[in-house]
């Protein structure tokens, strides 16, 4: 009998209709949220195999290794999957800025009643 997806210890990702799961990346040292992306089965397999973050680009419809062009790779220290196996949490060591804008984190703006404001440091 198969283990239930939500309680068992068998990796059995529940991909959405596009074949993707959500991936949240945090800094292994600080816990700061660095980015959110998506992974298909190949990206997840490569991340597990190499220890470097791989994702699926929905806009380009292609696999990408984070930092392949910029050098700002993400070395995975811990990879976890949630209870229903439709999202992963990656604790990683960034080799540089994580955001394509050059910001340390993709979450560098705060939303408030007055609109957006910049966030400079880990809070």
Query: Per the annotation, does 18 bind a ligand?
Result: no
Whether the CB-CB separation of 87 and 23 falls below 8 Å is answered with yes
Query: Per the annotation, does 2 bind a ligand?
Result: no
Query: Per the annotation, does 83 bind a ligand?
Result: yes
- The pTM of the full predicted model, rounded to 2 decimals, is 0.91
Instruction: State pLDDT tens for residues 94-109.
Output: 999 999 999 999 999 9
Query: Per the annotation, does 120 bind a ligand?
Result: no
- Give first-to-last CA distance, the chain, whole Å: 46
Residues 6+ apart with CB under 8 A from 40: 15, 19, 20, 56, 63
Instruction: State pLDDT tens for residues 25-72.
Output: 999 999 999 999 999 999 999 999 999 999 999 999 999 999 999 999
Sole residue written with tokens 């560098």: 108
- Per-residue buried b or exposed e for 70-81, using 16+ beta carbons within 10 Å of the residue's own CB: eebbbebeebeb
Domain-embedded: residue 123: no
What average pLDDT is seen over the chain?
Answer: 94
Query: Per the annotation, does 106 bind a ligand?
Result: yes
Q: Which residues pair with 112 in a beta bridge?
A: 115
Domain-embedded: residue 12: no
Domain-embedded: residue 16: no
**For residue 1, is pLDDT > 90?**
no
Domain-embedded: residue 2: no
CATH number at residue 88: 3.10.20.810
Give the C-alpha distances (Å, rounded to integers) separating 87 from 14, 19, 52, 120: 8, 12, 17, 28
In terms of residue numbers, what domain contains 111?
Answer: 21-96+104-118
Domain-embedded: residue 37: yes
Query: Total domain count for the chain?
Result: 1
Query: Per the annotation, does 78 bind a ligand?
Result: no
Domain-embedded: residue 9: no
Query: What SS3 class is residue 85?
Result: coil
71: which 2 tokens? Answer: 């050098």
């Amino acid at each position: 009998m198969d283990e239930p997806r939500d309680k068992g210890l068998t990796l059995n990702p529940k991909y959405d209709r596009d074949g993707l799961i959500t991936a949240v990346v945090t800094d292994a040292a600080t816990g700061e949220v660095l980015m959110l992306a998506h992974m298909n089965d190949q990206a997840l397999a490569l991340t597990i195999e190499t220890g470097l973050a791989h994702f699926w680009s929905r806009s380009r419809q292609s696999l990408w290794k984070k930092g392949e062009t910029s050098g700002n790779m993400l070395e995975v220290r811990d990879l976890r999957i949630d209870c229903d196996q439709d999202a992963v949490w990656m604790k990683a060591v960034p080799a540089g800025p994580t955001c394509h804008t050059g910001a340390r984190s993709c979450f560098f703006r705060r939303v408030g009643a007055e609109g957006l404001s910049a966030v400079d440091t880990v809070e």
